[in-house]
């Protein structure tokens, strides 16, 4: 911790630190399988390098280093031929396992003609790639869980959005797991109950909340007594599944939100998020898809508000906290396990930790603010700049 003295008083000095140059070990979602199975190569900037993603006739989605080790051609500008990606420079053809399958003008393929093939996982209609600076292979214990309701005819398909965030490290996104208070000020909701559990590679946030009565343009419902429920868990460093219930849903969630990201550089990342929605009985697929698009638009408002904060804030390694701010330092210790060698993981990074925030004081203060806004006819949402 850092402090300085001015006018005989000690003040806190922000320690911004440097973003990690290492990228997290774990599964990272690159996007939807349906978008990569179009017979075209796709270039993705991730982990400080360039990747090419393609699917051949066998429909398997492959991820290779983007630049051909022959003469450096960009495979993402090449052509998918059968189950290979052909370089646009000299037509060297690369299989999904990284081996060169054919050089049309040559008698034989050199024995060393290999490029890096990235380990992938196809699940939940999404493509995941494994990253580890040590070169380890993933285990079943740290895999991405299946979303049981994906593919169910009673649920919609993914409504998906992608956003590049420049000027911030992806730790800013993960900090939200414990940040109870920002839901009121940034997302216009009132957390009634807020609890965190960290254990192993999973970090969970359990929240019950009500919409703010002074934020009419953001809340979906005008029933301000209706309590929503959110059970959200990060599985590894970058992939969160959030099950969401409205007050009348009972035991079955009405929506599942996925929030995920992959790093581009130490100071930029790609944020992706999508929803699937339970179809109401008697509603056509077209109407259900429109409902999902509407829900996704609402989710987008929240993420855009977060992004604006991240892009304009300082990185801070020594946040000054009140007890209602939640276990920020414990979360960051959990998160650190993905940035060290496996041999350097310490028990405090993975041992079970639980914390419940007492929301009584916050709710009383927030209700006073809401009542004053409603009485004065003010909205909590800032007016757009003229």
Tell me the pLDDT tens digit for each residue of 114-144.
999 999 999 999 999 999 999 999 999 999 9
Q: What is the pLDDT of residue 219?
A: 42
How distant, in Å, are the alpha carbons of 21, 151, 269, 270, 351 from that of 48?
9, 34, 10, 12, 31
Above pLDDT 70, what percent of the chain? 93
Confidence of residue 281 (pLDDT cuts 50, 70, 90): confident
Tell me the pLDDT tens digit for each residue of 200-223.
999 999 999 999 999 865 444 434
The answer on pLDDT for 8 being more than 80 is no
Q: What is the pLDDT of residue 220?
A: 41
CA distance 51 to 65: 5
Tell me the pLDDT tens digit for each residue of 343-378.
999 999 999 999 999 999 999 999 999 999 999 999
Query: CB-side exposure of 365: number of CA atoms within 13 Å?
Result: 9
CA 198 to chain CA centroid, Å, is 17
Q: What is the pLDDT of residue 291?
A: 86
Q: What is the pLDDT of residue 302?
A: 81
CA distance 209 to 271: 24
How distant, in Å, are the alpha carbons of 38, 119, 213, 251, 283 from that of 163?
21, 24, 30, 32, 31
The answer on pLDDT for 157 being more than 80 is yes
Confidence of residue 383 (pLDDT cuts 50, 70, 90): confident
- The angle at the Cα of 90, spanning 89 to 96, to the nearest 5 degrees, equals 90
Tell me the pLDDT tens digit for each residue of 160-174.
999 999 999 999 999
Above pLDDT 90, what percent of the chain? 80
Q: How far apart are the first and last CA of the chain?
A: 42
- In this prediction the pTM is 0.92
Neighbours of 382 (CB within 10 A): 6
CA distance 295 to 253: 14
> Contact, 333 vs 175, CB < 8 A?
no
Token couple for 377: 């006819």
Tell me the pLDDT tens digit for each residue of 288-301.
889 888 888 888 88
The arithmetic mean of pLDDT across residues 15-32, rounded, is: 95
Q: What is the pLDDT of residue 116?
A: 98
CA distance 102 to 347: 49
Question: Burial code of 95-121, b = ≥16 C-beta within 10 A, e = fewer?
Answer: bbebebbbbeeeeeeeeebebebbebb
217 phi and psi, to 5 degrees?
-75, -15
> Contact, 19 vs 170, CB < 8 A?
no
Lowest mean pLDDT across 124-128, 276-280, 339-343: 276-280
The arithmetic mean of pLDDT across residues 227-236, rounded, is: 95
Q: What is the pLDDT of residue 216?
A: 67
Q: What is the pLDDT of residue 33?
A: 98
The arithmetic mean of pLDDT across residues 323-331, rounded, is: 95
Tell me the three-class secondary structure of the chain, residue by residue.
CCEEEECCEEEECCCCCCCCCCCCCEEEEEEEHHHHCCCCCEEEEECCEEEEEEECCCCCEEEEECECCCCCCEHHHCEEECCEEECCCCCCEEECCCEEEECCCCCCCCCCCECCECCEEEECCEEEEEECCCCCCCCHHHCCCCCCCCCCCCECCCEEEEEEEECCCCHHHHHHHCCCCHHHHCCCEEEEEEEEEEECCEEEEEEEEEECCCCCCCCCCCCCCCCEEEEEEEECCCEEEEEEECCCCCCCCCEEEEEEEEEEECCEEEEEEEEEEECCCCCCHHHHHHHHHHHHHHHHHHHHHHHHHHHHCCCCCCCCCCHHHCCHHHHHHHHHHHHCCHHHCCHHHHCCEEEEECCHHHHHHHHHHHHHHHHHCCCCCCCCCC
The answer on pLDDT for 224 being more than 50 is no
Say how many residues make up the chain: 386
Tell me the pLDDT tens digit for each residue of 56-94.
999 999 999 999 999 999 999 999 999 999 999 999 999
Average pLDDT, the chain: 92
The answer on pLDDT for 196 being more than 80 is yes
């Amino acid at each position: 911790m850092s402090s300085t003295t001015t006018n005989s008083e000690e003040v806190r000095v922000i320690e911004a630190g440097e973003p990690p140059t290492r990228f997290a070990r774990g599964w990272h979602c690159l996007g939807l399988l349906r978008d990569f199975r179009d017979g075209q190569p796709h270039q993705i900037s991730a982990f400080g390098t360039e990747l090419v993603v393609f699917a051949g006739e066998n429909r398997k989605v492959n991820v290779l280093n983007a630049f051909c080790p022959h003469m450096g051609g960009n495979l993402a500008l090449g052509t998918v031929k059968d189950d290979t990606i052909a370089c646009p420079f000299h037509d060297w053809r690369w299989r999904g396992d990284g081996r060169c399958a054919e050089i049309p003008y040559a008698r034989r393929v050199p024995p060393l003609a290999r490029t890096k093939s990235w380990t992938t996982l196809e699940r939940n209609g999404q493509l995941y790639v494994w990253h580890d600076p040590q070169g380890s292979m993933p285990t079943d214990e740290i895999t991405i869980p299946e979303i049981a309701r994906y593919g169910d005819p009673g649920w919609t398909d993914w409504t998906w959005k992608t956003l590049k965030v420049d000027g911030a490290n992806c730790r800013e996104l993960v900090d939200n797991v414990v940040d109870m208070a920002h839901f009121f000020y940034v997302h216009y909701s009132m957390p009634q109950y807020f609890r965190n559990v960290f254990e192993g590679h999973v970090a969970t946030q359990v929240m019950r909340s009500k919409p703010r009565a002074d934020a009419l343009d953001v809340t979906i419902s005008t029933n301000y007594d209706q309590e929503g429920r959110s059970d959200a868990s990060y599985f590894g460093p970058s992939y969160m599944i959030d099950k969401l219930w409205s007050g009348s849903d009972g035991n079955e969630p009405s929506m599942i939100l996925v929030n995920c990201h992959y790093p581009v550089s130490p100071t930029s990342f790609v944020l992706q998020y999508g929803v699937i929605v339970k179809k109401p009985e008697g509603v056509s697929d077209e109407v259900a898809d429109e409902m999902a698009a509407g829900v996704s638009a609402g989710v987008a408002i929240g993420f855009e508000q977060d992004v604006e904060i991240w892009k304009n804030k300082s990185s801070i390694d020594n946040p000054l906290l009140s007890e209602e701010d939640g276990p920020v330092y414990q979360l960051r210790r959990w998160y650190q396990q993905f940035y060290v060698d496996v041999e350097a993981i310490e028990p405090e990074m993975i041992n079970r930790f639980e914390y419940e925030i007492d929301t009584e004081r916050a709710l009383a203060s927030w209700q006073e603010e809401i009542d004053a806004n409603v009485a004065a006819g003010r909205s909590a949402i800032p007016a757009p700049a003229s």
